[in-house]
Amino acid sequence: MRVSEVGTVTEPTTCVEAEPFALRVTDDSMEPEFKAGCIIIVDPTGLVKHDVYVIAEHGDGHIFRQLKKVLEGYHLAPLNDRYPVIELPSGLAAIKGVVVQRAGPRRRDHKHY
Q: What is the pLDDT of residues 51-60, one digit of tens each?
A: 999 999 998 9
Q: What is the pLDDT of residues 56-75, one digit of tens each?
A: 999 899 999 999 999 889 99
Domain at 78, CATH number: 2.10.109.10
- The answer to whether position 87 is within a domain reads yes
pTM attached to this predicted model = 0.82
- The answer to whether position 77 is within a domain reads yes
d(CA 29, CA 98): 17
Binning pLDDT at 50, 70 and 90, where does residue 7 land?
Answer: low
Tally of structural domains, the chain:
1
CB within 8 Å of 44: residues ≥ 6 apart:
1, 12, 17, 18, 19, 20, 21, 96, 97
Contact call for residues 68 and 50 (beta carbons, < 8 A) = yes
- The answer to whether position 112 is within a domain reads no
pLDDT for position 11: 53
Say whether pLDDT at 100 is over 80. yes
- The answer to whether position 2 is within a domain reads no
Q: Domain range holding 71?
A: 15-106
- The answer to whether position 49 is within a domain reads yes
